[in-house]
Every structure is written in C-alpha cells, then in structure tokens.
Amino acid sequence: MFVSLFLYAFVASFTPGPNNIMAMTFANQFGLKKTMKFCLGVGTGFFIIILLCSYFNLLLNNLLPQIKSIMAVIGGVYMLYLAVKMITSKQPESDAAGDKHNSFIAGMLLQFINPKGILYGITVTSTFILTYHSSSFRLLSYSLVLAFIGYMGTFCWCLCGSLFKKMISKYKSQFNVLMGLLLVYCAVSIVLG
C-alpha cells in the first residue's frame, strides 16, 4: 500500500500541471527566492485540499459528477487565461505586477480551482488512505506528507526555472509560448477528460 501510494503521489506531483508550470515561469521571471512564497502557497493549499478530501470523501464522491464538471470549466478557463497572459507577454512583468500572481495567496487559491489537484485528492484519499485509516491523526499525517510531496514537485520545477534562467531568458518568447501551450493542453485535457 505504501509503495503504491508514494509512487502515485510522486508521479502526480512531479508531472506538468498548472502549479509546476506557473512555478517554473515565476522562478524564471522573478528568481527562486521571490517564487518561494508561491510554492509555499501551493503546498498550503494542497494540504487543505487533501485534508478536506480526507474528511469529506464520501460526500465528494456522491457529488463528483457535478463538482468535476464545474471545477473543470472554472479551472480550464483560468488556465487558458494564464496561457494567454504568458504567450502574449513581451517583457518580464514588473515586481508589482508579478506579485499579484506570484504570491502565497495566489498559490494557495490556485489549488481550489485546480481540478487535477482536487481529483488527485479525492482519488488518493479514497483509494489509499480511507480504506486503511480513519483516525484524525492518520488523516492529518497523510495530508502533511502528501502536501510535502506536492510542494517538492512544485519546488523542483521552480528550481529548474531559476537554474536555467539565462538560457530561458535568451529564448524568452519561445519559452513563454511553450509554457502557455502546456497550460492550454492542461486546460483542454481537464475540460475534455
């Protein structure tokens, strides 16, 4: 059970998605240090989502068809908005403009409209956690561990954006188009999937 849970968690956390793509882009634009608040927000929001999914999994499973379609549309529209902003940006945003999106609050709130994260939370809690554990201590413990794994995935993408800043800066418009198209792909796959 543990091996399957952690393999699933690592694959879901380290593959491309809105959190990871945005973290890489922000780190490239604003640096690793300034993007850490976004990554911490992602981890905090993800922890809240996993904890909520743990406690309300039965209710969410009953409402899944309605929640999935609503969250898919909201999340897809938001990702398309981010993709358009990314593709059409010509110069790096100023620190003030970037702080609007590259912040703890933005990272945390992104989790509540991120269908990939919510569906992951529902799946991981119903499949791997609630079938074996139901005590509050265990649910809290698993939520913390899964949030940390999610944070590490986002941080790794952030680190890549920071480490390859020089190379990415040289090909800024191509990088923005590529990251924007990855967000479009995420949006389309979530809405249609």
pLDDT 10s digits, 50-106: 999 888 775 655 566 566 567 667 766 766 777 787 778 765 544 555 567 789 999
Q: Phi, psi (5° rounding) for residue 133?
A: -135, 145
Question: How many angstroms separate the first and last alpha carbons of the chain?
Answer: 27
Q: What is the pLDDT of residue 65?
A: 59
The alpha carbon of residue 178 and the mean position of all alpha carbons in its chain are separated, in whole angstroms, by 18
Q: For the CA atoms of the chain, what is the radius of gyration?
A: 17
Q: What is the pLDDT of residue 149?
A: 96
CA angle 43–20–23, rounded 5-degree value: 80
